[in-house]
Structure 1
Amino acid sequence: MKDPTKKTLVVQGEQQMIVVLAGLPLTGKSTIARQLAGKLDAVLLDKLALRECLFPASHGRVSREQNDYVLEIALHAAVWHFETAPGRVVVLDGRPFTRASDVRALRRFASGLGQPLQIIECVCPEDVATERLMARHRRQTSPTADPGPDQCDEAPEAITEPKFVLDTTLPPWRCLSLALRFLEQNQATVQAGQDQGSHCEPPTRARTSHLNPGAGATK
């Protein structure tokens, strides 16, 4: 069968972009993130993988402070990639971003760098998520792949920022095609604004906390 996503224009050129995969656990965020990163030749920053490296003995259960710290590391890595590879797309995965404060922090982060922030919220029915969890357990997946406390201990808040809602019960090729189309359309909108005279300063490496502006600033 021919790959339908090959008909989709891949985001490219000098337009940098931060793509965030949001949504509750088991809604398919990581699958879409990996597919997008492959199609866009993007940097994939996986918070769960970073968490395993930084806190290997946690077995998937860490505090909010530890999760926030891991996200900080990922955001600093994003800055480094934007500095060293103009035109780079960064895909951020591994956190549900179901706290309004997290999403606002991401928006401030992207705005401070002068980069577009594209949010893709993955959704699926609860019974589908339950079946995915059972299948994961049958495969004996590493504990770090299970939802962490930042993902399931608090009631989720609706993402009110501009976003694209992706139903991950659709076939994988269709999910990828829709996500790429969303990014392509948004890239065209951003590019049109720049062509009309808007200008973004090149990013500089951040030394303060992205989640808590003003904290940890160097003197």
Structure 2
Amino acid sequence: MKVIWVLLAGLPASGKSTLACALAMRLDRCAVLDKDRVRAALFPGPMTDYTSEQDALCMSAMLNAATYMTRNNFANYIIFDGRTFSRTAQIEEVISIAETTGAAWRILHLICSDVCAEARLSGPDQEHPAANRDAALYYRVKASFEPITHEKLDLDTTNGIEPILPRALAWLNS
């Protein structure tokens, strides 16, 4: 079986991290690489600035780790969480490295209603390491989100993760 790199694309509060955790519990030998947690580890506290440059450094570390895990057959699935993949170039970068490494890839595109996202972002989330998540960020990213032109599975998480989990698992294993 080829290692499958899973890109979780979607706006802030669309359920990417929640889905990543649910998938990791159900998929054999699954690693979750979370950009927000990588950033918190590399740039703790006041060193976190949420710039594009810092995001790129974190993604580089994640891609290097995914390449290493793939080449050494450490995982069957590697989930990329914490990035919206709102830009075509962000998706292309991961796909190119996956293919060079010999991994397959899948894109799960998560959406939810604006009302749902606002509710999820309305209070502090002690579990989430990104302190810049709020409704303003949601709408900024939404306004500039580029269409995903690669094959993907669209999943609406407005009613939570459980209703869409069987479809996500089936698609990842297809």
TM superposition score category, shorter chain reference: 0.7 to 0.9
1:18 aligns with 2:35: no
Amino acid paired to 1:147: R
Residue number in structure 2 paired with 1:8: none
Q: In structure 2, list runs of 5 or more residues that go unmatched.
A: none
The structure 1 residue matched to 2:100, chosen from 90, 100, 112, is 112
The change in CA–CA distance for 1:73 and 1:124 in structure 2 (over 3 A counts) is same
Q: Spell out, residue by residue over 1:111-143, the C-alpha distance to the aligned partner (whole angstroms, 9 max, x if none).
A: 111211100010001111000111x42x55566
Q: Spell out, residue by residue over 1:71-103, the C-alpha distance to the aligned partner (whole angstroms, 9 max, x if none).
A: 000010001111222662111100000011111
The structure 2 residue matched to 1:144, chosen from 130, 135, 144, is 130
Residue number in structure 2 paired with 1:46: 34
Question: Based on CA coordinates, which of the two structures has the bigger radius of gyration?
Answer: 1
Contact 1:32 / 1:175 at 8 angstroms: preserved in 2? no
Residue number in structure 1 paired with 2:14: 27
Amino acid paired to 1:16: V
Query: How many Å separate the matches in 1 of 2:173 and 2:34?
Result: 23
Identity of counterpart residues, as a percentage? 31
Query: How many Å separate the matches in 1 of 2:67 and 2:166?
Result: 27
Query: How many Å separate the matches in 1 of 2:170 and 2:98?
Result: 21
TM-score, normalization by structure 1: 0.70
1:162 aligns with 2:166: no
The change in CA–CA distance for 1:183 and 1:140 in structure 2 (over 3 A counts) is closer
Amino acid paired to 1:174: P
The structure 1 residue matched to 2:170, chosen from 181, 188, 213, is 181
TM-score, normalization by structure 2: 0.87
The change in CA–CA distance for 1:159 and 1:140 in structure 2 (over 3 A counts) is same
Q: Once superposed, which parts of structure 1, at least 4 consecutive aligned residues long, lie more than 4 Å away?
A: 139-143, 148-154
Q: In structure 1, list runs of 5 or more residues that go unmatched.
A: 1-13, 186-219
Cα RMSD (Å) of the superposition?
Answer: 2.4
Deviation for aligned residue 1:153: 5.0
Greater strand share, structure number: 2
Contact 2:30 / 2:79 at 8 angstroms: preserved in 1? yes
Query: How many Å separate the matches in 2 of 1:92 and 1:166?
Result: 16
